[in-house]
Structure 1
Amino acid sequence: MASTTVMRLVLVMVCLAAFAVVQSASQAPRLAVATPSKNKNTQHKCTNTRTNKTTCTASCNNRCPHKCLIHCPSCKTFCLCDFYPGVSCGDPRFTGADGNNFYFHGKKDQDFCILSDANLHINAHFIGKRNPAMSRDFTWIQALGIRFAHHRLYVGAARTAKWDAAADHLTIAFDDEDVELPRSVGARWAPPTAPALSVTRTAQVNTVVVELRGVFRIMANVVPITAEDSRIHNYGVTDDDSLAHLDLGFKFHDLTDDVHGVLGQTYRPDYVNKLDVKSNMPVMGGAPDYLSSDLFSTDCAVARFGRRPATIGGGPAIEMVTGTE
């Protein structure tokens, strides 16, 4: 148990460094993003942009099928799905604020409330494939709809038939206006109407950090379902859609005690985890409670957005529900 705790603490330290805002071009980048090669011995370099000298080299971990994140100049490597807590990856596997993993399958082509608080609301749009041998859809998060104050921020993966790792499949819009980011590491955008909001590229394509200062920081990475993924998991993916989706890392600040949502409820001080954490696939049920009418709606049953923060005191604890959809 002690060794697990130490490993988590080390992981937290690395992840916090990865979430740091990209430094100026006169300094060595703190985060390098590389695409793993089929050649396991492929080396990726950390380079000091001021001296143009290589500080170290690293190999991508085999656990990272799409993107290898390298912390420079230490050359420690990790995957986006290593972020802890508040991560969502693949067939949505979340890591709650208590550090426990759970799955929330939802349903394809529907929107679900991931987090809802008095001043922040985040919905996720799910895409998926139906496996006739199963009673549910395979699902992935294709887009986020984020609301704060009177603003709306869209972060999504564009539909693409054939995946091209060199192309940018990320779509961002703010208050219904498309956001254009130069394709260079460190490129940053901030709207004049909400200067505390920023979007920064951490790779030339497909990976950004979205930050609302003092409220949240989200790392979003667009990845496809590969033929190998489909073969191993029996997803049944065809050539007409790569099912591009988002792997996500969340960090939140100053949430109220009344926060809710699929992931949000795990940040409540009265949160009680009733899932079987020893299970290979602990599942949160109760999807109807988190269903929203569209990506920017705040009409899910557990919505808190726009309400005055409630004092929950000695009220009943919130429980996660184990079960299938």
Structure 2
Amino acid sequence: MARWSSVVACAVLVGASLLCSMMAAAQGPLPGGNSNVHVITIDGKRNSKFTCVDDKKKRPGCTATCPNRCPKKCLVLCPTCKTFCLCDFYPGVSCGDPRFTGADGNNFYFHGKKDQDFCIVSDAGLHINAHFIGKRNPAMSRDFTWIQALGIRFAHHHLYVGAAKTARWDAAADHLSIAFDDDAVALPAAVGARWSPPAAPGLSVTRTAQANTVVVELRGVFRIMANVVPITAEDSRVHNYGVTEEDGDTLAHLDLGFKFYDLTDDVHGVLGQTYRTDYVNTLNVTAKMPVMGGADSFVSSGLFETDCAVARFGGRRDTSTGAGISMVTDAKYL
């Protein structure tokens, strides 16, 4: 049984097409002609303000302020000046120190461990792993972690989407790294630039800004919004990450939005399990930082490996014997 229709997964607040575009939008009106919905890019400055104007001149404008808890951007509905953090209000989002929004609408953290790979979504025809990078705080028992790359498998294909390591952040430079079946993908630095491989024409990668933001879509299967962001000095100060220029690494990572069209009810993984009809949230959702544990169940031996304990890809249910493996063909993606 399929779980979460294409409408449900991105229908919170203002409509599917709008929500699926907004994470990659720059400051200003969102794509799609809705000039009264704007995204403020915080750029390391808290309490960023934006003058909200009613284009239809029916009501006076006002000044909107991003909530302090928004890490990078916030959404402003004009002319009412209602604001929302992009990472808070629709299923399938991962932002910052990996904070996910499950399909049940609840936020949770999954810290994992730096320099390891974890199974985010695993279903019969789709498997997504995430590579975590991190910073150790000696005063804590865990790493600060962020998602640096995704390894996506479908049919016989491998898609890599990652943030390239950079010693000094330059917002005008592109820090995205994309590869399909081990071949690098080059996208022109222009909004709307699109790439699609002949071997899987249902797959596409489209720029939604000149640098660092793309939408990756596999027709009928998923839509992923990926935005490369660094750990800024302000981030480090506020959250006590301990990242300095002397480290020579801005810890560039991915803020992500996921939309799934055709997951089965057997789907699993850190995020995938929340799309099951039998999923029961046992986390303390009233806690400041609800944390999902069980990292051992989700760890994979490599970015494209499907050997996590909860793997479902290709019909896999028993990873010790390989029983139940069925080949997944390219046919549905052509």
User: TM-score range, shorter-chain basis?
Assistant: 0.7 to 0.9
Cα 1:181–1:227 change in 2 (3 A) is: same
Percent of aligned pairs sharing the same letter: 73
Q: Compute the displacement of 1:204 (Å).
A: 1.2
Query: Which structure 1 residue ranges, 4+ long, deviate > 3 Å from structure 2?
Result: 8-12, 27-47, 56-60, 62-80
Q: Which amino acid aligns with 2:187?
A: L
Residue in structure 1 matched with residue 102 of structure 2 by the alignment: 96
1:32-91, Cα deviation, whole Å (9 max, x unpaired) = 7664465945669999xxxxxxxx998673555534567899998755414511111111
Task: Confirm whether residue 179 of structure 1 aligns to residue 180 of structure 2.
Answer: no
Task: Confirm whether residue 19 of structure 1 aligns to residue 20 of structure 2.
Answer: yes
Q: Secondary structure at the match of 1:171?
A: strand
Task: Confirm whether residue 137 of structure 1 aligns to residue 143 of structure 2.
Answer: yes
Cα 1:29–1:294 change in 2 (3 A) is: farther
8 Å Cα contact 1:80/1:248 also seen in 2: no
2-side partners of 1:41 and 1:171: how far apart?
Answer: 32
Cα 1:9–1:222 change in 2 (3 A) is: closer
8 Å Cα contact 2:52/2:79 also seen in 1: no
Cα 1:40–1:293 change in 2 (3 A) is: closer
Residue in structure 2 matched with residue 111 of structure 1 by the alignment: 117
303, 308, 311: which is aligned to 1:300?
308
1-side partners of 2:235 and 2:115: how far apart?
Answer: 21
1:7-54, Cα deviation, whole Å (9 max, x unpaired) = x998443564131599xxxx858897664465945669999xxxxxxx
Q: Secondary structure at the match of 2:237?
A: helix
2-side partners of 1:182 and 1:34: how far apart?
Answer: 25
1-side partners of 2:210 and 2:10: how far apart?
Answer: 30
Matching of residues 123-202 of structure 1 within 5 Å: 123-202=129-208
Cα 1:123–1:36 change in 2 (3 A) is: same
Q: Secondary structure at the match of 1:13?
A: coil
Q: Secondary structure at the match of 2:315?
A: coil
1-side partners of 2:11 and 2:201: how far apart?
Answer: 33
Cα 1:206–1:118 change in 2 (3 A) is: same
1-side partners of 2:220 and 2:275: how far apart?
Answer: 16
Q: Secondary structure at the match of 1:214?
A: coil
Residue in structure 2 matched with residue 5 of structure 1 by the alignment: none
Q: Which amino acid aligns with 2:264?
A: T
1-side partners of 2:147 and 2:223: how far apart?
Answer: 18
1-side partners of 2:208 and 2:62: how far apart?
Answer: 18
CA-based RMSD of the aligned residues comes to 3.3
For normalisation by structure 1, the TM-score amounts to 0.79
Q: Which amino acid aligns with 2:97?
A: D
2-side partners of 1:195 and 1:18: how far apart?
Answer: 24
8 Å Cα contact 2:52/2:64 also seen in 1: yes
Residue in structure 2 matched with residue 270 of structure 1 by the alignment: 278
Q: Which amino acid aligns with 1:269?
A: T
Task: Confirm whether residue 246 of structure 1 aligns to residue 254 of structure 2.
Answer: yes
8 Å Cα contact 1:189/1:198 also seen in 2: yes
2-side partners of 1:170 and 1:72: how far apart?
Answer: 32
Q: Secondary structure at the match of 2:314?
A: coil
Cα 1:245–1:101 change in 2 (3 A) is: same
1-side partners of 2:168 and 2:204: how far apart?
Answer: 30
Q: How many residues align?
A: 292
Residue in structure 1 matched with residue 240 of structure 2 by the alignment: 234
Listed as ranges, the gaps of 5+ residues in structure 1 are: 1-7, 48-55, 311-325
Higher relative contact order (CA 8 A, sep 6+): 2
8 Å Cα contact 1:222/1:245 also seen in 2: yes
1:96-135, Cα deviation, whole Å (9 max, x unpaired) = 1111111110000000000000000000000000111111
Residue in structure 2 matched with residue 208 of structure 1 by the alignment: 214
Q: Compute the displacement of 1:282 (Å).
A: 1.2
1:237-287, Cα deviation, whole Å (9 max, x unpaired) = 021111111111111111111110011111111111111111111111110
Residue in structure 2 matched with residue 52 of structure 1 by the alignment: none
Residue in structure 1 matched with residue 294 of structure 2 by the alignment: 286
Cα 1:184–1:74 change in 2 (3 A) is: farther
8 Å Cα contact 2:298/2:310 also seen in 1: yes
8 Å Cα contact 2:71/2:96 also seen in 1: no
2-side partners of 1:285 and 1:61: how far apart?
Answer: 31
8 Å Cα contact 1:147/1:296 also seen in 2: yes
8 Å Cα contact 2:157/2:180 also seen in 1: yes
